[in-house]
């Protein structure tokens, strides 16, 4: 089962390598990983999408918590979080397909951010499922290049992670 985990970490030298080494050393999977600073200067936030059964997830969470530079681990799998992802998509668009691409972009509330006579570059944002959806429709028209950020997640409700 897929899990989305938020990991708050000290903004220190080598933290990313500690986390990625933990996953590779213990044979855990990473589907995606994003990391960037937060509103607290000394802290960064990683969002890791991973897979495994209940026991593996328990080990992943515990092992992450064991790392000295990790401040907090939040598992959003119970539906307590909202996930978003952005994709930049370069797609062929010539003759009759130009209009079709535009229709798809419109339906998914995406944006054209670059255009040439033979292509569109699209910015799409949404849940990872929505990104998969637009990609399924664009793929037959000729995907030239794709960049995904990987999911980021935040908890629902008024409270911040500190409670």
Partner 1 sequence: MKMNGARIMLECLKKEGVDTVFGYPGGTVINIYDELFSFKEIRHILPRHEQAGTHAADGYARATGKVGVAIATSGPGATNTVTGIATAYMDSIPMVIVTGQVPTALIGNDAFQEVDIIGITRPCTKHSFLIKDVKDVAMIMKKAFYIARSGRPGPVLVDLPKDVQIAQTEFIYPESVDIRGYKPNLEGHFRQVEKAVGMLLDSQRPVMYVGGGVVLGDAADQLTTLARRLTVPVTTTLMGLGSFPGNDENSLGMLGMHGAYCANMAMTHSDLIVAVGARFDDRVTGKIATFAPNAKIIHIDVDPTSIKKNVRVDLPIVGDVQDVLSKMNKQLDKQKEKVEKFLSTLGPWHADIAGWKTKHPLSYKQSSTIIKPQYVIQKLRELSDDDAIVSTDVGQHQMWTAQFFQFNKPRTLLSSGGLGTMGYGLPAAMGAQAAYPGRQVITICGDGGVQMNIQEMATLVQNRLPVKIVILNNNFLGMVRQWQELFFDKRYSQTCMELPIDFIKLAEAYGAKGFHASKPDEVEKVIRQGFAEDGPVIMEFKVAREEKVLPMVPAGASLNEMVLNA
Where does this chain bind partner 1 (CB under 8 A)? 9-10, 13-14, 17-18, 21, 25, 55, 58-59, 62-63, 65-72
Q: How far is the CB of 76 from partner 1 (least distance, A)?
A: 20
Q: Which is nearer to partner 1, 5 or 89 (CB)?
A: 5
| Joined tokens for residue 3 | 């899990």
Q: Which is nearer to partner 1, 9 or 104 (CB)?
A: 9
Q: How far is the CB of 1 from partner 1 (least distance, A)?
A: 18
Q: Which is nearer to partner 1, 6 or 119 (CB)?
A: 6
Contacts of 17-21 spanning 24+ positions with Cβ under 8 A = 18/67, 18/69, 19/46, 19/48, 19/64, 19/67, 19/70
> What is the distance between the alpha carbons of residues 77 and 84, in angstroms, rounded to a whole number?
14
Per DSSP bridges, beta strands 111-116 and 81-92 are unpaired
Q: Which SS3 state, helix, strand or coil, does residue 138 take?
A: helix
Q: Which is nearer to partner 1, 57 or 134 (CB)?
A: 57
Provide the residue count of the chain: 163
Q: By CB neighbour count within 10 A (0-12 exposed, 13-18 middle, 19+ buried), where does 121 fall?
A: middle
> What is the distance between the alpha carbons of residues 160 and 163, in angstroms, rounded to a whole number?
5
Per the listing, tokens 């209940």 go with: 54
Q: How far is the CB of 150 from partner 1 (least distance, A)?
A: 23
Q: Which is nearer to partner 1, 64 or 151 (CB)?
A: 64
Q: How far is the CB of 47 from partner 1 (least distance, A)?
A: 17
Q: How far is the CB of 52 from partner 1 (least distance, A)?
A: 14
């Amino acid at each position: 089962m897929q899990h989305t985990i938020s990991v708050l970490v000290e903004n220190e030298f080598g933290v990313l390598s500690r986390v990625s080494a933990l996953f590779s050393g213990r044979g855990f999977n990473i589907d995606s990983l994003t990391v960037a600073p937060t509103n607290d200067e000394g802290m960064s936030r990683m969002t890791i999408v991973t897979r495994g059964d209940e026991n593996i997830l328990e080990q992943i969470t515990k092992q992450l918590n064991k790392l000295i530079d990790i401040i907090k681990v939040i598992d959003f799998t119970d539906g307590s979080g909202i996930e978003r992802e952005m994709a930049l998509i370069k797609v062929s668009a010539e003759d009759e397909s130009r209009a079709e691409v535009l229709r798809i972009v419109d339906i998914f509330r995406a944006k054209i951010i670059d255009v040439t006579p033979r292509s569109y570059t699209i910015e799409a944002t949404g849940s990872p499922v929505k990104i998969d959806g637009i990609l399924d429709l664009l793929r037959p028209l000729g995907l030239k290049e794709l960049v995904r950020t990987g999911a980021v997640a935040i908890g629902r409700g008024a409270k911040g992670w500190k409670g």
